[in-house]
C-alpha cells in the first residue's frame, strides 16, 4: 500500500517536473514572475497598502478588479460542463476536465487577490466560523467567502475523482460524481451573482447600484471564460497534447458569440439609461467615458468597447471559420472584458467619491508586480494541473502495478 502511494507521488512529480525545452522555459518564467510577485507582496506586508495606488478615495483598485474578472473566469468553466452533462455531448465530455481545472486555478487566483487586498491578512482568522465572528447572512462578503470556497471544493472533488479513477484504471461511477457536477453547475452562476451583489447592493455607489450588474457579470464571464478555453485548446493542439474535435471549438464559439452579444446589449442598455436621462447618477459613467473632464480610464474603456465590438463582428461574419481570426477575436474579448469589468466597473464606482471628489487612480509598480505574480502563479498551477491531466485522460499515464 505504501509502495503504491509513493508510486503515485513520484509519477505525478515526474510528470510535472519533466518536459521539453518550451515547457521548462514557460514554467521557469512563471516561477520567476511568481517570485517577483511574492517579493512585492512582502514589501506590501512590510509597509502597508500605502505601496499601492489606492487611497481613501479609490479604496479598491487592481486587486479587486482582477478578483471580479477571475470569479467570472471560474464561473464560466461551467458553460462547458452544461452541454457535456446535460446534453450528453461526448466530444465535449472528454475536455470538460480541462475547463474544470481552469476553474480551480482561477479560484486560487481569486483568493490570492483578495488576500493581497486585505490590510491585515494576519487577522483573516477573524472570519473563520466558530473561532472568529462571521457576519453571515448580513454581509455579502461572507456569502462570497462561502460560495467561492464551496465552488473550489466542488471542482477539486470532481477533478480529483475523475483523474484518480482514470489513473488507477477504475471505472467512473456516475453516482459518485455526476450529482456533484450538477451541483457545481448550479453553483457557478451563484459565485458570480454574489460577487455582483457585493457591488450592486451598495446604495452609496450609484454606478454599481443597478440590477443589471449581475446579468452583465454573467454575460461577460460567459464570453471571456470560454474564449480563454478556446485559446487553451488551440495551444494544447499546437503542442500536440491532445486532439480537440472541431465541433467542440465550434460549440464553445457559439457560447462566446451569444454571451458577447448579450453583454453588449446590456452595456448599451445601461449606457442609454445613464446618458439619456442625464441624472446626477450618470456622472460616474460620463466621467469614465471622458465626457466629464480628463479621465485616465477613458482611453482604456473606449479601447475595450471597440475590441468587444470588433470581436462581435468577427464572430458573426464567416471570418469566424478562419482559425487566426477566431484566435484574434478570443484575445480581444478577454482583454476587452478584463478592462470593462476591472478598470471600467470597479474603479469607476469610486470616481467621483460619494462627496463628489474626483481623484484618479494609478496603480504603482509594486501593485502591478503583485498582480502579475498572482496571475503567473495561477497559470503555473493550471499548467502543472494540465501536465498531469492530459496524459491521464489520454491514457498515457496510469498506475503501473508491477513497477517499483
Please identify, among the stretches 121-129, 259-267, 271-279, 334-342, the one whose residues bind other proteins according to the rule CB under 8 A.
121-129
How wide is the angle at C-alpha 202 spanned by C-alphas 200 and 204, nearest 5°? 130
| Interaction residues for other proteins, span 183-222 (CB under 8 A) | 198, 202-205
In terms of Cα–Cα distance, which of 274, 383, 312 is closest to 27?
383
Please state, in angstroms and rounded to a whole number, the distance separating the CA atoms of residues 391 and 211: 45
In terms of Cα–Cα distance, which of 388, 387, 382, 393 is closest to 100?
382
291 binds other proteins (CB under 8 A): no
In terms of Cα–Cα distance, which of 148, 147, 140 is closest to 196?
140
Q: Identify which of residues 7 and 352 has a Cβ nearer to other proteins in the complex.
A: 352
Task: For residue 25, give Cα distances in angstroms to 96, 238, 266.
Answer: 27, 17, 42
Task: For residue 26, give Cα distances in angstroms to 228, 238, 241, 317, 319.
Answer: 18, 15, 15, 35, 31
Q: Identify which of residues 318 and 356 has a Cβ nearer to other proteins in the complex.
A: 356
93 binds other proteins (CB under 8 A): no
With H, G, I as helix, E, B as strand and everything else as coil, classify residue 352: coil
Residues 6+ apart with CB under 8 A from 163: 97, 388, 389, 392, 393
Residues 6+ apart with CB under 8 A from 365: none
Task: For residue 323, give Cα distances in angstroms to 119, 222, 246, 314.
Answer: 45, 20, 11, 11
Phi, psi of 87 (to 5 degrees): -100, 5
36 binds other proteins (CB under 8 A): yes
- Among 1, 56, 175, 211, the residue binding other proteins under the rule CB under 8 A is 56
- Among 1, 3, 9, 46, the residue binding other proteins under the rule CB under 8 A is 46
130 binds other proteins (CB under 8 A): no
Please state, in angstroms and rounded to a whole number, the distance separating the CA atoms of residues 13 and 38: 23
Please state, in angstroms and rounded to a whole number, the distance separating the CA atoms of residues 364 and 91: 45
- Among 25, 29, 118, 265, the residue binding other proteins under the rule CB under 8 A is 118
150 binds other proteins (CB under 8 A): no
The set of cell numbers assigned to 266 is: 446590456
Q: Are 64 and 54 in contact (CB under 8 A)?
A: no
236 binds other proteins (CB under 8 A): no
Please state, in angstroms and rounded to a whole number, the distance separating the CA atoms of residues 70 and 217: 11
319 binds other proteins (CB under 8 A): no
Quote the least distance from Cβ 355 to other proteins, whole Å. Answer: 5
In terms of Cα–Cα distance, which of 390, 393, 93, 397 is closest to 236?
390
350 binds other proteins (CB under 8 A): yes
29 binds other proteins (CB under 8 A): no
278 binds other proteins (CB under 8 A): no
48 binds other proteins (CB under 8 A): yes
Quote the least distance from Cβ 218 to other proteins, whole Å. Answer: 22
17 binds other proteins (CB under 8 A): yes
Q: Identify which of residues 135 and 168 has a Cβ nearer to other proteins in the complex.
A: 135
| Interaction residues for other proteins, span 378-397 (CB under 8 A) | 396
- Among 12, 127, 183, 190, the residue binding other proteins under the rule CB under 8 A is 127
Quote the least distance from Cβ 274 to other proteins, whole Å. Answer: 14
126 binds other proteins (CB under 8 A): yes
Q: Identify which of residues 44 and 257 has a Cβ nearer to other proteins in the complex.
A: 44
Residues lying near other proteins in the complex (CB under 8 A): 14, 17-18, 20, 31-32, 35-36, 38-39, 42-43, 45-50, 52, 54-57, 59-60, 117-124, 126-127, 132-135, 138-142, 145, 198, 202-205, 240, 243, 280, 283, 349-350, 352-357, 396
Amino acid at each position: 500500500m505504501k509502495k503504491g502511494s509513493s508510486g503515485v507521488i513520484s509519477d505525478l512529480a515526474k510528470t510535472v517536473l519533466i518536459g521539453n525545452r518550451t515547457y521548462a522555459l514557460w514554467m521557469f518564467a512563471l516561477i520567476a514572475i511568481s517570485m517577483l510577485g511574492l517579493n512585492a507582496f512582502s514589501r506590501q506586508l512590510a509597509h502597508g497598502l500605502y505601496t499601492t495606488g489606492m487611497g481613501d478615495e479609490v479604496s479598491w483598485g487592481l486587486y479587486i478588479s482582477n478578483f471580479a474578472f477571475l470569479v467570472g473566469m471560474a464561473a464560466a468553466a461551467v458553460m462547458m460542463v452544461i452541454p457535456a452533462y446535460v446534453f450528453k455531448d461526448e466530444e465535449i465530455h472528454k475536455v470538460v476536465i480541462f475547463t474544470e481545472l481552469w476553474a480551480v486555478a482561477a479560484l486560487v487566483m481569486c483568493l490570492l487577490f483578495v488576500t493581497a487586498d486585505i490590510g491585515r491578512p494576519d487577522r483573516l482568522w477573524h472570519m473563520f466560523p466558530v473561532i472568529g465572528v462571521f457576519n453571515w447572512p448580513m454581509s455579502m462578503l461572507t456569502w462570497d467567502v462561502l460560495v467561492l470556497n464551496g465552488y473550489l471544493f466542488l471542482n477539486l472533488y470532481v477533478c480529483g475523482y475523475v483523474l484518480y479513477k482514470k489513473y488507477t484504471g477504475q471505472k467512473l461511477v456516475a453516482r459518485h460524481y455526476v450529482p456533484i457536477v450538477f451541483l457545481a453547475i448550479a453553483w457557478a452562476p451563484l459565485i458570480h451573482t454574489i460577487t455582483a451583489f457585493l457591488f450592486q447592493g451598495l446604495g452609496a455607489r450609484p454606478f454599481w447600484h443597478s440590477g443589471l450588474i449581475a446579468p452583465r457579470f454573467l454575460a461577460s464571464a460567459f464570453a471571456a471564460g470560454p474564449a480563454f478555453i478556446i485559446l487553451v485548446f488551440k495551444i494544447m493542439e499546437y503542442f500536440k497534447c491532445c486532439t480537440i474535435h472541431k465541433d467542440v471549438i465550434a460549440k464553445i464559439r457559439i457560447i462566446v458569440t451569444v454571451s458577447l452579444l448579450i453583454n453588449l446589449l446590456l452595456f448599451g442598455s445601461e449606457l442609454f439609461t445613464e446618458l439619456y436621462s442625464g441624472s446626477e447618477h450618470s456622472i460616474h459613467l460620463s466621467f469614465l467615458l471622458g465626457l466629464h473632464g480628463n479621465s485616465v480610464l477613458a482611453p482604456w474603456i473606449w479601447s475595450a468597447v471597440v475590441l468587444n465590438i470588433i470581436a462581435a463582428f468577427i464572430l458573426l461574419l464567416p471570418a469566424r471559420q478562419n482559425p487566426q481570426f477566431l484566435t484574434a477575436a478570443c484575445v480581444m474579448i478577454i482583454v476587452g472584458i478584463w478592462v470593462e469589468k476591472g478598470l471600467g466597473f470597479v474603479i469607476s464606482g469610486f470616481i467621483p467619491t460619494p462627496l463628489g471628489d474626483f481623484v484618479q487612480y494609478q496603480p504603482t509598480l509594486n501593485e502591478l508586480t503583485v498582480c502579475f505574480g498572482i496571475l503567473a502563479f495561477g497559470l503555473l498551477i493550471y499548467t502543472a494541473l494540465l501536465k498531469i491531466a492530459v496524459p491521464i485522460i489520454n491514457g498515457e499515464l496510469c498506475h503501473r502495478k508491477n513497477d517499483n
